[in-house]
Amino acid sequence: MTASASAIFRLALVLCASLCASCVPVMQKHSSNQLADSLPRAPFNEWSYAKNARAQIRKAIHLSQPQPADAAAILLSTARELAPHKSQTTWANHAYQLALGLGVQLVHEEQLWGQHLQHKHYSVIPPSSCSVSQTYINCIDNLKYAGQYNTPALQPTILDAGTGAPMVAFTDWTEERVNSYPFIPKVGQIYSLTVTAQWLDSQAVEFTLSDSRSNPNLSANYSVPTAFSETLTKELKYQGILNVLRPARGVSSMGLFSLDPVDPQRIPIILVHGLAASPNLWVKPSHNLLQNETIRDNYQLYAYFYPTGLPISHSAARLKKEIRRLETYLKQHGAGSKADQMVIIGHSMGGLLTSAVTRDYRGAASELYTKSVDSLTAESKGKDAIKELLEQPPLDCVTRAIFIATPHRGSKYADNWIGQFTSHLIEIPKNIVGIDPQHYRHDLTQAGREIFNMQEGMDGVQRLRYNNPALKYNLSRPKLPQVTYHSIIGDRGWGGKLENSSDGIVAYSSSHLEGVASELVVPSWHNAQDNDEAIEEIIRILKLHLH
């Protein structure tokens, strides 16, 4: 098989694997009949209250579409009747959560706040508004009961048993809200809340929505919010591919985003995707991490999005700036030392960005340029990126980095005809083209000319060429002293010695780093971030990080 045929074959394998993975639905909503049947018959010794409660809940479920106000009255009145029993049996607690969760969902969806809801002898008066407690976001645009969804592709389901009903909250992204919630994703914030009820009399009730993470005694479902996020960010998979060829389309979306409402009391984990990818890459790995209670209780997940067709140095400079912005925000909101313990996890090209922002580049400008950065013949955004990466103080808030399938020395696939053809198609935005040394070659030192090969472009694909001088220079820069490195490397299992192995895209010789605290080789192709052994290794490292 020729090299080009082999490349096409491997690309086909990757596409087939992606298509097969998508055959398993990430989330399924129960139909009315399925939801009604999800509440089984109660044990005989509970029939005194359970038989009627089950019948009314089933009736209300079927009324929820044609008569939502009537359904809400039945559900909330039934929840009130079940309240004295919910702590005594599993069945009563399940029925209570179902009635309360669906009832509150209907009140919110139909804006029935403060209205007197009646259906025959059932009567309830919801509050005029819902109290939001212990969460950093108090604008809720949509609210759904989590128990009406299954997540087949995200297993096992992450559940916390406790008081209240598990809900999924949605807060839309708007330009105005970014001022208050600067790390809200463009698709909106999707997160787990728990609703609890306090009955004031035979009709009036008060609801409180709490961040499910704030109290281990609250009922919660963390899988359903993750499934909604995967569904809403699915189009980013295709945007990630387009952003290789037309990175200008993704520049306005660049940034660091929180996967849950920001909690300054949790240690940030920053996830950085690789070539032709997007934050959607991290949906399943993040779900796997959150299955571990220690990780869930101590860490906050963030994802960095960037168009991977941009010059790697530009994307790394923006990542460094975003991390500094996060550090400032967290400390302004009481984070204390938690903001100085950040962890970065980078996959593939994302690992190169991670490496760049955790190395000391002080003094590099004088090694590469014959004049000050401000005097370079380059566009302003290009110079800003150079100054951020080379002249701004190194980050002191990151103390650990995990590299997954990272081509520290490049990949031979960037050298073959597919890589060269792809690079030829890439159009870097005009206001960033000025970062290309071709535009200020006379300002480069001899070392700068050797590092920035004048015959190569500056796009992300070209900078992944095997033994690229720029990658070698990055590895020559000293690691920041407070940062501990770890490597996770894929081996596709084609036999032979470890030093000759590969994940199908990146050779072991490129992923291997000397001086790391740990290195684990897992049986995986390039998508090692999904590998079970890799997830266990990340969990081990993150637990170690807490001590």
- Alpha-carbon distance 91 to 95, whole Å? 6
pLDDT tens, position by position, 498-533 = 888 999 889 999 999 999 999 999 999 999 999 999
Q: Are strands 205-211 and 189-199 parallel, antiparallel or unpaired?
A: antiparallel
Residue 165 has pLDDT above 80, yes or no: yes
How many CB atoms sit inside 10 A of residue 67's CB?
Answer: 14
Higher pLDDT, 213 or 442: 213
Residue 120 has pLDDT above 90, yes or no: no
- Alpha-carbon distance 245 to 428, whole Å? 8
Least confident of 147-161, 197-211, 235-249, 370-384: 235-249
- Strand segments, DSSP code E, in 58-121 are 117-119
Quick one: pLDDT band at residue 188, thresholds 50, 70, 90? very high
Instruction: Indicate left, alpha or beta for 496 from its phi (over 0: left) and psi (-120 to 50: alpha).
Output: left
- Strand segments, DSSP code E, in 408-523 are 484-491, 518-523
pLDDT at 6: 47
DSSP state of 12: H
Least confident of 75-89, 222-236, 352-366, 528-542: 222-236
Percent of the chain with pLDDT strictly greater than 90:
61
Which residue(s) pair with 190 in the sheet?
Answer: 170
Q: Which two tokens stand for residue 444?
A: 């480069």
Q: Is 476 exposed, middle or buried (0-12, 13-18, 19+ CB in 10 A)?
A: exposed
- Alpha-carbon distance 461 to 307, whole Å? 12
What stretch of H or E contains 168?
A: strand 165-171
Q: Which of 199, 210, 227 is nearest to 135 (CA)?
A: 210
- Alpha-carbon distance 23 to 58, whole Å? 32
Higher pLDDT, 120 or 286: 286
> What's the mean pLDDT in 424-453?
65
| Verdict on whether the full-model pTM lies above 0.85 | yes
- Alpha-carbon distance 161 to 151, whole Å? 18
- Alpha-carbon distance 492 to 501, whole Å? 8
Instruction: Indicate left, alpha or beta for 504 from its phi (over 0: left) and psi (-120 to 50: alpha).
Output: left
pLDDT tens, position by position, 87-116 = 889 999 999 999 999 999 999 999 999 999
Q: Kindly report the length of the chain.
A: 547
> Which residue type, as a one-letter code, is found at position 476?
S
Residue 122: phi, psi to the nearest 5? Answer: -90, 130
pLDDT at 422: 37
pLDDT at 245: 67
- Alpha-carbon distance 73 to 124, whole Å? 6
User: What does the angle CA 327 – CA 170 – CA 185 come to, to the nearest 5 degrees?
Assistant: 40
Q: Are 323 and 343 in contact (CB under 8 A)?
A: no
User: What does the angle CA 454 – CA 459 – CA 463 come to, to the nearest 5 degrees?
Assistant: 70
- Alpha-carbon distance 408 to 430, whole Å? 28
Q: What is the rounded end-to-end Cα distance, in angstroms, of the chain?
A: 51
Q: Are 140 and 170 in contact (CB under 8 A)?
A: yes
Instruction: Give Cα 6 to chain centroid, integer Å.
Output: 33
- Alpha-carbon distance 452 to 457, whole Å? 9
